[in-house]
Structure 1
Amino acid sequence: MRYAGPCLIMHLSGPSTPCIIVLEFSNFSATDTRDVRLAWVSLGLATMFFSLASPRKQTTSLPILPWLLFCGLVSWIPCALAASVNRTIDDTFGDPATGLNPTFGPSGWRANNFCKFVPIHMKCGDWAPNDSFTFKHTYHFTYSASTYLSLQFTGTAIYVYTLLINSTEHGLGNEAAFGGAGFTAQVDGGRTEVGQIDPTEVTILPAYNVLLYSKIGLENTTHNLTIRPVESELLFFDYAVYTFEEPDSAPSSSSSSGPTLVSVSTSFSPSSPSAASSSFPAIAAVKKKKLAGPIAGGVIGGLILLGALGLLLYCVGRRRRKTVNPGLTGITDEKRLAPWPANPIPRNFTPRRRFHIRGLCARNLVPTVSG
């Protein structure tokens, strides 16, 4: 995706300034909106600086375009400082920010107490999930391929977390028994993606806070995510985290507490290409620190500093233009520029006088003085 806006601004700010900057973004996502806006602010400041420092015709008025650009950039600061907030959707308590709960349908989902519903009648307390380590001490699981999980959220990204159990040491020995069942995911009724966790990469079981699915690059609007098991295999759901873009002036609410996440990999095969990017990588942490205050101070301070520097350069350049031949602008006659008188008087000059000798007028005679 290309943006020619900065080039247009640089061309208008000074015809002598070459248009050499083109922004090109690949995999552009709505989560990068704040970074893109800050980049535009930086480009605008650079445009203003170079337009003031570049040579231009003598003028008695202040260049208007750079300062209009400066005022426009200042007005963009509130937009550029929108904060990204992570919110959590628990399997039982839902989203405290919106009050929405996950939808488990149509039937076949079980809540907590895994050993009570396990199909194999055996003691599973040593390898079943421990409620003390799950998010808010709750979780859901299913064995049925006819079930589905639906999550509604408003944001630019979502991350779904599951858990894995330690069943291979007790004769079950397949990936499905781990909780790493194959699944399909669909956002807003779009393309269907098929995923599969590889639990063999986990060295310590049971494992909690394991990333099952993630989707990024969404618009900051309302979305619906649906996850279904591929077959009648074990699938857990603990909680989900989604990223919401809110203005810096709005108070942050229900941000995620940032649990320790487990690193696993998930293979998937998309059924068709998509504009938004999706991924199933291991994520070390999804909580982002809110740095709106320091960013605001840095941007405003940079605006003031660059504005003062540009004004100083303009004043220095204007003063230099005024000090060239003050008061004699347009005079080209060398004689008029020569000092007065044009022919200086030599030091040994002796004036000539007229004398009347015996009634005769003698001109240009040098008198002799006798002793």
Structure 2
Amino acid sequence: MLLSWPGGRIFTLFSCTFFATLVNAALVNVTIDDTFGNTQENLQIIYQPPGAWSPGQSCTNCEAHLDATQIYNGTWHDTTYLSDNPPSSPLSASLTFDGVAIYVYCIVTQSSTDPFGNSDMTFYLDGVEVGNFTLPPDGDSTYHYNFPVYVNESIPSGKHSFMLVNGRAGGQTALALLDSIVFS
């Protein structure tokens, strides 16, 4: 079926339907809290190995003491890769999601004392290394909240697995303070 449009343009019914679908389609961001996940989407971040990540807001032996009012839902997860006593398996935070983009937010510091603010994270999507974030200490003990350590807006639509790994064999001690993961 042909339709006439103001200005003399002619479109098929298919073209109009396709255009209307594009206009109505919108990306929706889903935020996954480090601790509570997202109950509407029934999604949780999985931390490995068990006990290697601590809920920062209730951690009594964690060196990072943060302002919970500046953190999503007032919660974060804390882990440190110790170069002089490396773990037997990677310190990882994983999430399975269905989307086209992902944003990973952490709290970072460049402190050269407690906590040692060296960041060294590697990111995997569907089992393939897709990036890393490194930020060496420079003595600035300021905490930077809601800091995007990984952003990928060009993921093929569909179900994906994401993994953040803190530290690397042969690398320096590395701190990770995970706040939230958002996907579209």
Normalised to the residue count of structure 1, the TM-score between the two structures is: 0.40
> What stretches of structure 1 of length at least 5 have no aligned partner?
1-44, 50-65, 244-371
Report sequence identity in percent. 24
Structure 1 residues 157 and 98: alpha-carbon distance in aligned structure 2, compared to 1, 3 A threshold: same
* Residue 116 (structure 2) pairs with residue 177 (structure 1): yes
Measured against aligned partners, the alpha-carbon deviations of 1:102-128 in whole angstroms (never above 9, x if no partner) come to 000113101024762236xxxx7xxx2
Letter in 2 for 1:237: L
- The higher relative CO (CA closer than 8 Å, separation ≥ 6) is in 2
Letter in 1 for 2:135: I
Q: Which has the higher helix share?
A: 1
- Aligned Cα root-mean-square deviation (Å): 2.8
Which residue does 1:92 correspond to in 2?
Answer: 35
Asked if the contact 2:109/2:137 (under 8 Å) is kept, the reply is: no
Q: Which has the higher strand share?
A: 2
Which residue does 1:316 correspond to in 2?
Answer: none
2:132 aligned counterpart, secondary structure: strand
Aligned equivalents of 2:75, 2:15: Cα separation in 1: 48
Aligned equivalents of 1:194, 1:162: Cα separation in 2: 13
Letter in 2 for 1:72: F
Asked if the contact 2:57/2:74 (under 8 Å) is kept, the reply is: no
* Residue 172 (structure 2) pairs with residue 239 (structure 1): no
- Which segments of structure 1 move beyond 4 Å, counting only runs of 4 or more? none
Query: How many residues are aligned here?
Result: 165
Alignment counterpart, residue 212 of structure 1, candidates 149, 165, 170: 149
Aligned equivalents of 1:195, 1:75: Cα separation in 2: 43
Asked if the contact 1:114/1:129 (under 8 Å) is kept, the reply is: no
* Residue 79 (structure 2) pairs with residue 142 (structure 1): yes
> What stretches of structure 2 of length at least 5 have no aligned partner?
82-86
Which structure's CA Rg is the greater one?
Answer: 1
* Residue 45 (structure 2) pairs with residue 102 (structure 1): yes
Asked if the contact 1:94/1:100 (under 8 Å) is kept, the reply is: yes
Measured against aligned partners, the alpha-carbon deviations of 1:157-207 in whole angstroms (never above 9, x if no partner) come to 000000024744xxx18xx822x411111101123533213676xx88222
Measured against aligned partners, the alpha-carbon deviations of 1:214-250 in whole angstroms (never above 9, x if no partner) come to 112112211110110124421110001111xxxxxxx
Normalised to the residue count of structure 2, the TM-score between the two structures is: 0.77
1:184-263 to 2 correspondences below 5 Å: 184-197=122-135, 205-231=142-168, 232-243=173-184
